[in-house]
Amino acid sequence: MSKVTADLASRASLLARLALFALPLCFGPVIAHAQAKPQPTNEQKQTALAPAKDGRAAEASGPSTQGTTISALPGMETSAPTAILIDAETGTVLLEKNADQLTPPASLTKLMTMAVVFEQLKAGKLRLDDEFTVSQNAWRKRGASSGGSTMFLPLNGRASVRSLIQGTAIQSGNDATIVLAEGLAGSEDGFARMMNEHAKAIGITKSTFRNPHGLPDPEQRVTMRDLATLASHIVRDYPGEYKVFSEPQFTFNGITQQNRNPVLGLVEGVDGMKTGHTAESGYGLVASAIRNGQRLILALNGLRSANERRDEARKLLEWGFRGFEQATLVPAGQTVSQVRVVSGAVSSVPLVPLSDAKVLKPKGTGQGYGTKVVADERVQAPVRKGDRLGTLQITANGSVIREVPLVASADVDLGAWWQRAWESVTDRVRKLI
């Protein structure tokens, strides 16, 4: 008998003795943990779509957009000095031009003003029926006599938060933003601190806010990528409040003013956002539109006229809807892997995506994407349905472009004592061999 054969025989004999010891210890035969399917590796790549011949996928644009840049349709350009067009759900960047360049925001600043107000409403710290007084600062500095955008608030008058939101989102009233700022923070400077704190909390990385209305300040600068992140945040986290941006007009103090958004009612699916203009910034726009469940968000700035702003916005939004479509790589709830459960009533638990794993691709192509499961090899019982146990990474050309949480699809209770004892014995045997 060779040395190798003798060694194997010795290990087999040891295993047999351990099994004989374990059976009486556990008072019976092995109890099956669960009829689980064979457990795949927890770092598994799956090809979802064949690569397109002319398509290309770049690295993720940043933590806020969390998407690859795809512009496989040739010939699309914009006259806007700075611009970005994204798919809101996946964060995929369809087009960008100097999207990280800092630029004066003008009234696009009011989107952050609205986000702070909406957050206060959501947190229960503010009510739509609350009223604030129109200070002399708000009336004289940014009211009717200032020559800028105004809600025509009367000096020492009172206005509800609901009206001030409409006056800001629809009429772009500078006076309305000051009244909100003073009512919530005591001053414009105090409110600017709230704006910057909120910006940081939602992943805005480069922009700085110094006032609630957007009139020139040398330290107030934004990027189009940050504004797209801000717009996505408003649409996603304040869906009820967001509807104010789609109102076609608003009447206050006997004066009716139309919504200033030039593509509202012009481009199919547009339901908000905000315009901006000063001599310093040029003409800017953030617009959001939805068709057949797909939402695009556009941010651009620095255009030479209101007409050019309108035409560029219409062109880019139409191009985005016409040229791209969503594809679901893995639907929510579909098992993609299994994780071993230590000391559990069953031996493993399936992992499923918390939401659909979607990407955007040029229509008629198979833009190349894959998925990769990243999870621990084992977890300790008990496990509850919905517990996050891993991540499904969506990849393009080797780069991670989006992540979807993986959660347990079922409860796994702590196993009986004899199950845990048998598991301990079999683990030790497994280590020996």
Q: What is the mean pLDDT of residues 358-373?
A: 82
Structure confidence at residue 361 (pLDDT): 82
- Identify the residue with better confidence: 368 or 108: 108
| Per-residue pLDDT reduced to its tens digit, 187-223 | 999 999 999 999 999 999 999 999 999 999 999 999 9
Q: How far apart are CA 30 and CA 34, in angstroms?
A: 12
| Per-residue pLDDT reduced to its tens digit, 143-157 | 555 668 999 999 999
Structure confidence at residue 51 (pLDDT): 28
Q: How far apart are CA 119 and CA 130, in angstroms?
A: 15
At the second CATH level, the architecture of 20-49+331-432 is Sandwich (2.60)
| Per-residue pLDDT reduced to its tens digit, 229-241 | 999 999 999 999 9
Q: Which residues are catalytic?
A: 107, 110, 172
Structure confidence at residue 133 (pLDDT): 97
Global model pTM greater than 0.75 = yes
Q: Domain boundaries in the chain?
A: 20-49+331-432, 82-325
Residue 104 structure tokens: 């004066």
Say if CB 294 and CB 321 are below 8 A apart. Answer: yes
DSSP 256-276: EEE---TTTTTSTTEEEEEEE
What's the gap between Cα 350 and its chain centre?
26
Structure confidence at residue 396 (pLDDT): 81
Structure confidence at residue 52 (pLDDT): 28
**Could you tell me which CATH number the domain at 82-325 has?**
3.40.710.10
pLDDT at 74 > cutoff 70: no
Structure confidence at residue 417 (pLDDT): 67
Among 353, 433, 336, 340, residue whose Cα is nearest residue 380: 340
Angle at CA of residue 115, ends 231 and 282, nearest 5°:
55
pLDDT band, residue 401 (cuts 50/70/90): confident
Name the one residue in this structure whose structure tokens are 């959660």: 407
